Amino acid sequence: MRAMILERPGQPLRLVELTTPTPGPGQLLLKVRACAVCRTDLHVVDGELPNSKLPLVPGHEIVGTVVAIGAAASRFQIGDRVGVPWLGWTCGHCRFCQSGRENLCDQARFTGYHIDGGYAEYTVADERYCFPLPPSYSDVEAAPLLCAGLIGYRSLVMAGAGEKLGIYGFGAAAHIVAQVARHQGRRTFAFTRPGDIDAQKFARSLGAVWVGGSDTLPPEELDAAIIFAPAGSLVPQALRGLSKGGMLVCGGIHMSDIPSFPYQLLWGERAVRTVANLTRRDSEEFLELAPRIPVRVSVQPFALCQANDALVALRQGRLRGAAVLTTDADSKPTG
Ligand SMILES: [Zn+2]
Ligand SMILES: [Zn+2]
């Protein structure tokens, strides 16, 4: 099978021919239909997350069709369409797993990081962490729901029920969260890279009541804010726009250092928290909710062999919505 692999952090991915994996006990072999590209993939490729598998097939927003079933796997049938998210395996018995917080499992293994992911024509996945997908979404539309959607949704839940919601960084996750927030009757204030008029128009089209650069303050104090951009300097900046009792959620897995800031910005029972990974329950809730709203997914498709181009476009903030790799296009391995 063709796959895009990371051999060493900091280097571009390379298109190679690999042996198609065989599903072990409890696993599914999936023919990959689409795999969305996440900001976390960039952190992995850049070596900002330690101890990744190497060589590695990245990608953790996988839509695939079941083509083979390992021993003792019984949840799905050949031909079923399933989604594979970031959470790939948990121990099931640590104190986090035992208390509904499997996202914090000490031994958790993640797709496209510890486990080969979806930048390939085939992948294997533990069936317990796979999900049926809402039929109203095409393969490329469904893929971004699996991380941008899920982590965005978990971030929104963690932000609390406040009506005035700020979103910093208007990428794949934000474009989904904005629609859920509007559905819940909230008002969204979207902060983009300063001067990024296209992103601001995009945010408005998805229901943001106010748009502006991340270097400006909102016109009124916000009840909550979510930071999806990996820039630590946004933490004090977002606190400046938050009302007393407000919640600031950092939704990314990696962020540059947060500069020191006056205690006064946090005083008044403001809080800062992070969102780490996802639970299977988040997946069930969000995948049930998304088609009912319905969340519309903006997608920029790339062929599998163009994964490096997709990562560059993401890094440069040139995407509107989510980049999604598809395995249909013709591309030959380089070795
Ligand atoms: Zn555990
Ligand atoms: Zn992700």
Q: How far is the CA of 280 from the centre of ligand 1 (A)?
A: 13
Contact (Cβ atoms closer than 8 angstroms) between residue 256 and residue 230: yes
What is the CA(251)–ligand 1 centre distance, in A?
Answer: 21
Q: Tell me the CA–centroid distance for residue 17 and ligand 2, in Å.
A: 25
Does the CA dihedral 253-42-232-317 come out positive or negative?
Answer: negative
- Angstrom CA distances, 115 to 24, 143, 182, 213, stand at 13, 18, 35, 37
| 148 Cα to the center of ligand 2, angstroms | 6
How far, in Å, CA of 220 to CA of 160, rounded? Answer: 18
CA–CA separation, 41 vs 209, rounded Å? 31
Distance 146 CA to ligand 1 centre (A): 21
Q: What is the pTM of this model?
A: 0.94
| Coil vs helix vs strand at 167 | strand
Compute, in angstroms, the gap from residue 267 CA to the centroid of ligand 2: 32
Ligand nearest, relative to CA of residue 36: 2
Lookup: tokens for 187:
């008002």
Ligand nearest to the CA of 278: 2
Distance from the alpha carbon of residue 97 to the mean position of ligand 1, in angstroms: 4
Q: Which ligand has an atom closest to residue 89 CA?
A: 1
- Ligand 2 midpoint to CA 317 (Å): 16
Residue given tokens 């630590």 in the structure block: 232
**What are phi and psi for residue 284, nearest 5 degrees?**
-60, -45
- Å from CA of 278 to ligand 1 middle: 13
Q: Give the per-residue pLDDT at 332.
A: 47
Ligand having the closest approach to the CA of 101 = 1
Give the per-residue pLDDT at 327: 86
Residue 255 C-alpha to ligand 2 middle, in angstroms? 14
Phi-psi region of 312 (alpha: psi -120 to 50; beta: other; left: phi over 0): alpha
Ligand closest to 276 (CA) is 2
The predicted pLDDT at position 23 comes to 98
| CA 100–ligand 1 middle distance (angstroms) | 10
| Interval between CA 129 and ligand 1 midpoint (Å) | 14
Ligand nearest to the CA of 105: 1
- Report the distance separating Cα 294 and Cα 275, nearest Å: 24
Cα–ligand 2 centroid distance for 244 (angstroms): 31
Calculate how far, in angstroms, residue 124's C-alpha sits from the geometric centre of ligand 1: 21
Ligand nearest to the CA of 37: 2
Whole-number Å distance, alpha carbon 220 to ligand 2 midpoint, is 31
C-alpha 323 to ligand 2 mean position (Å): 12
What token pair was written down for 172?
A: 């794949």
Local structure of 237: helix, strand or coil: helix
Ligand nearest the Cα atom of residue 99: 1
Residues of the chain with pLDDT under 50: 330-335
Please report, for residues 103, 244, 255, the alpha-carbon distance to residue 216 in angstroms, rounded to integers and kept in the order given. Answer: 34, 19, 20
